[in-house]
Amino acid sequence: MAARDLQERIKKLIVDRRLPSGAPLPTEPELMEYLGASRNSVREALKALQAMGIVEIRHGFGTYVGPMSLAPMIEGLAFRTVAGHYRGEDSLLQLLELREAVETGLVSRLAGRIPESDLVELDALVNRMEQQAAQGGAGLADTDRAFHATLYRGLDNVLLGEVLEAFWDAFHRVQTDLGGAPQDPKITCRQHRDILDAVRSDDSVRAEEAIREHFGNIRARLSTTHPQNPHTRHNERV
């Protein structure tokens, strides 16, 4: 039986039995009998599924349903984007356009619906960004990242959170200069304040415009970017 077929049958077993993350799978001999496959074939199929996060092999204890994490996909997306960038492709620009489309579509749903506790936290994050900007911008990228994570937290969408993290990771793994002049940290802060004010005031149109403006500068710079030495480190805010 082909390795891919074995993997699909094990995945079907997990689905059919409605096994949650952390649940034990049948033992290796049981899987051999169930699948009608050799020990080596079963082990190879399980190793492949473990690489995808579908199963977890605990040596000496058995095999369990994995965390079903998007980590392998995120790693692949980030690597593909970075590798493409250094081949001279516009993979970073494509990823930014995808992220902009996602955030623009989502922010209008958030207008007027963000819990007060999250608004307070977002306000504190913008205040921190303004302080960091006044001190030269150190730490601003991390606060920017926390702002976006907090902004969409109320949607309670784990998949969305992981995908947005993939966008961030891809950008920050690219160790290259961007074209054009860096954006003034104070402008970055003002853009985030505009986003916050718009969602707080239930103005979905203004919220979308604020998101688009936020991405406008980085999009323009990526349009003129050429791959540089990948050993140069940078701290770009997106």
pLDDT tens digits along 3-56: 889 999 999 999 999 999 999 999 999 999 999 999 999 999 999 999 888 999
Asked whether the beta carbons of 10 and 55 are under 8 A apart, the reply is yes
Q: How far apart are the first and last CA of the chain?
A: 47
Q: Which residue has the higher pLDDT, 94 or 182?
A: 94
Token readout for 20 is: 């949650």
Longest Cα–Cα distance in the chain: 67
* Global confidence as pTM: 0.70
What's residue 1's pLDDT? 60
What's residue 174's pLDDT? 64
- Indicate the average pLDDT of the chain: 85
How would residue 131 be classed by pLDDT, with cut points 50, 70 and 90?
Answer: very high
Burial class for 108, CB neighbours closer than 10 Å (0-12, 13-18, 19+): middle
